[in-house]
Amino acid sequence: MLPNGAAGALSQWLRLSGEKMKLKGKVGLVTGTSPNIGGGIAETLAAEGASVVCVDSRAENAADCARYINSTNARAIAVTCDVTDENQVAAAVIAAREAFGGIDVLVNSAAFFNKKGVIDMTLEEWRRQLAVILTGTFLFTKSVAKLMIEQQRKGSIINIISTAGHQGEPDNIAYCTGKGGLLNFTRSAAMELVRHGIRVNSLTPTATDPAESLERAARWGRTISVDANQLKRLFEPFRTRVPMQKLPSPSDYGRAAVFLASEDAGMITGTDLRVDAGAIAQYWAWDPGAK
Ligand SMILES: NC(=O)c1ccc[n+]([C@@H]2O[C@H](COP(=O)([O-])OP(=O)(O)OC[C@H]3O[C@@H](n4cnc5c(N)ncnc54)[C@H](O)[C@@H]3O)[C@@H](O)[C@H]2O)c1
């Protein structure tokens, strides 16, 4: 038997530690769960108490993410699904419902990079990249929102943008267009779904420190060989041009997604949360790395 004071302190601590799990009892579905950003967000939702549905068109990216989460105190399932296929999206949402009863948080993160300009990009490449970025987000938002409405769950939907969705990057036409489109998709869906208590926001990452995703890939059992010098050469120009002089990690985005998904953001809808080390706010002529 603990003395009264200690018992009180213990129960207070237990209450507080329970409260610290911001998504306890919630279910999150994340698309595009590679070891980089989507996997990082999925793991962070799980660490805050959510059960997670890991969705990816590459079976191993869904499976490895779910397997890792299941090795912690949280639960997850893997669903192989192409976000552009309406039947596969419907099947993923049914799988989530069967496994965990429903969905409270949707993170639309699936995308791919294909840096081509308006002159060089083929119509087929343009269609495919926009299909994954825009149509995939449309299909998952539609299917998950319908389930949230049916179950009267006041859920949260988070669309992953990019600083390239706010600015005109040359030779990246479909990606910039799709991500810019998602910013206003977010506002429009937020206005439509507000009457159901569903909040829709976006989250803007930027060039991302590769260290954490390399560590995650290794933790998921992947063999990776990296040339540290080449990696540094690739990321150093981004790091020195960003106001904070360091690049965010996937878990930085994960914590921001947890915030947007949680009651802490209960009065926030239709907005974009930039986790970009100051990149978009930066005055264009200022070089933060200049001595
Ligand atoms: N990496 C960055 O520096 C960066 C910067 C800004 C924004 N973002 C955004 O963050 C998100 C994640 O990026 P990332 O770097 O982790 O990319 P990534 O390539 O590591 O992961 C994207 C995942 O999406 C999956 N995917 C692609 N097409 C799909 C489809 N049709 N259906 C289902 N899954 C599909 C891929 O298999 C992959 O697992 C993307 O939306 C990206 O635009 C990334």
CATH number of the structural domain spanning residue 151: 3.40.50.720
* Torsions phi, psi for 134 (to 5 deg): -90, -55
Q: Quick check: CB of 39 below 6 Å from ligand 1?
A: no
Name the residue range of residue 223's domain: 24-274
The tens digit of pLDDT for each residue in 167-220 reads 999 999 999 999 999 999 999 999 999 999 999 999 999 999 999 999 999 999
Residue identifier of the C-alpha nearest atom 23 of ligand 1? 32
Report the share of the chain in percent with pLDDT over 90. Answer: 92
Give yes or no for residue 114 having a pLDDT over 70.
yes
State the distance from the centre of ligand 1 to the C-alpha of 110, rounded, in angstroms. 5
Residue spans of alpha helices (H) in 34-162: 37-47, 59-70, 86-100, 123-130, 136-150
Task: Report the residue among 34, 93, 272 best suited for mutation to probe ligand 1: largest number of ligand atoms under 8 A from its CB.
Answer: 34
Total number of domains constituting the chain: 1
175 among known catalytic residues: yes
Does residue 3 sit within a domain? no
Q: What per-residue confidence (pLDDT) applies to 224?
A: 87
Q: Quick check: CB of 207 below 6 Å from ligand 1?
A: yes
* Residue 104 burial by Cβ neighbours in a 10 Å radius (0-12, 13-18, 19+): buried
The pLDDT-based confidence of 18 (bands split at 50, 70, 90) is low
Does residue 283 sit within a domain? no
In angstroms, how far is CA 275 from the centroid of its own chain? Answer: 12
Residues 260-288 have a mean pLDDT of: 98
pTM of the model: 0.94
**Is the CA virtual torsion 270, 116, 276, 217 positive or negative?**
positive
Does residue 112 sit within a domain? yes
Q: Quick check: CB of 252 below 6 Å from ligand 1?
A: no
Report the share of the chain in percent with pLDDT over 70. Answer: 93
Q: What per-residue confidence (pLDDT) applies to 216?
A: 98
Sequence letter at residue 242: V
Residue 11 vs residue 245, higher pLDDT: 245
The pLDDT-based confidence of 291 (bands split at 50, 70, 90) is confident
Which run of H or E residues covers position 240?
Answer: helix 228-241
C-alpha dihedral (288, 174, 137, 195), degrees to nearest 10: 70
The tens digit of pLDDT for each residue in 122-137 reads 999 999 999 999 999 9
State the distance from the centre of ligand 1 to the C-alpha of 16, rounded, in angstroms. 35
Q: What per-residue confidence (pLDDT) applies to 9?
A: 47
For the CA of 160, the nearest atom of ligand 1: 41
Does residue 291 sit within a domain? no
Does residue 8 sit within a domain? no
For the CA of 133, the nearest atom of ligand 1: 41
For residue 135, what is the DSSP state?
A: I
For residue 277, what are the CA distances in angstroms to 13, 206, 238, 248, 260?
A: 34, 8, 11, 7, 18
Does residue 82 sit within a domain? yes
Among the listed ranges 1-5, 41-45, 85-89, 207-211, which one has the minimum average pLDDT value? Answer: 1-5
Where do the DSSP E strands lie in the chain?
27-31, 51-56, 76-80, 105-108, 156-160, 199-204, 272-274
Does residue 286 sit within a domain? no
Q: Do 246 and 209 form a contact (C-beta atoms < 8 A)?
A: yes
Does residue 75 sit within a domain? yes
Q: Quick check: CB of 36 below 6 Å from ligand 1?
A: yes
Q: Quick check: CB of 137 below 6 Å from ligand 1?
A: no
